[in-house]
Structure 1
């Protein structure tokens, strides 16, 4: 069976998408964009894949495969296990936006072989290896329906030199697993207190009702990251918005003491 031919516009667009994704992809390595190739399950690295569909100015699917080092760093974070999909989403969005304004699905985590095999069944799917030297460390894969017939103009990413195409500096080569998580966004929330109520009590609530919490007036509020307690502080007002002035950093393992 003859392998599908990648057209010049596809080649340029796939490289642009890989450049954009790599600029925001968490990594402790200095990576470069290699030549795009027809999608195949053979381009597999040890790690995890995140795949998402998008629609809008263009419709298609984008897959980012990251190395096991990032997957492990997210699992072993001092803030608790972090969501791989949330960590990789900026790279998925950056790649998809190369094709114009689009809306990206939430995405899901898959095994790399499964994700790339599914994508390879689609016509004109393209894989772009992200390499360190000759070693493939991450992968961007794309399938569009249809691909644009011409390369869009005035794209900042198209003016970049293809090497080294990376969102980190050379000094980042020896950074630890935690450092690669510095740009990963997480949900931060403040909690004044908690209580427990029966279903009967919940159903009897109405405007004006007062719910007593398990915390005395003037006690510090909790600051939580992805539901995990990391600090305590006092509530303040900043430009008509509530804020938290940190008074205590909670050591790991000391939550809810």
Structure 2
């Protein structure tokens, strides 16, 4: 199994030299952590069903095991992907499609 591509961000030399307030703002927020949610499916349950949940309960989803998954940031769809198994046994996501930005 090949090693998945690691995400790395590079800031250009001209960006580092630009001391405009907007560029300083961009640099200050560039490293902020953002939660990325990987969604494999949803299921609506009633409160009564929720109260009956216990260990070993199986909640069936409509998604199939090899269906595309969704990546969301702040409830906004940013990409689709597929689940993969990493070399260490962890689960990873291989991106298959990046959604177009509404801002261009």
Partner of 2:39: 191
Q: 1:243 aligns with which of 89, 92, 96?
A: 92
> For the residues of structure 2 that align with 1:217 and 1:169, how far apart are their CA atoms?
45
Q: CA deviation at 1:245?
A: 0.2
Higher helix share: 1
Q: CA deviation at 1:240?
A: 1.9
Partner of 1:229: 77
Determine which structure has more spread, i.e. the larger CA radius of gyration: 1
> For the residues of structure 2 that align with 1:178 and 1:214, how far apart are their CA atoms?
43
Q: CA deviation at 1:231?
A: 0.6
Residues 178 and 191 (structure 1), Cα distance of their counterparts in 2 relative to 1, 3 Å cut: farther
Q: Structure 1, residues 191-242: CA drift from partner, whole Å, max 9, x if none?
A: 1111110011111122222112232331111112233221110011222211
> For the residues of structure 2 that align with 1:220 and 1:213, how far apart are their CA atoms?
14
Structure 1 segments, 4+ long, off by >6 Å, are none
Residues 252 and 171 (structure 1), Cα distance of their counterparts in 2 relative to 1, 3 Å cut: closer
* Higher RCO (C-alpha 8 Å, min separation 6): 1
Q: Which secondary structure does the structure 2 equivalent of 1:169 belong to?
A: helix
Residues 172 and 247 (structure 1), Cα distance of their counterparts in 2 relative to 1, 3 Å cut: farther
**Structure 2 portions without partners, runs of 5+:** 1-14
> For the residues of structure 2 that align with 1:233 and 1:210, how far apart are their CA atoms?
24
> For the residues of structure 2 that align with 1:200 and 1:177, how far apart are their CA atoms?
52
State the TM-score, normalizing by the size of structure 1.
Answer: 0.29
> For the residues of structure 2 that align with 1:232 and 1:252, how far apart are their CA atoms?
14
Q: CA RMSD in A?
A: 2.7
- Aligned pair count reads 86
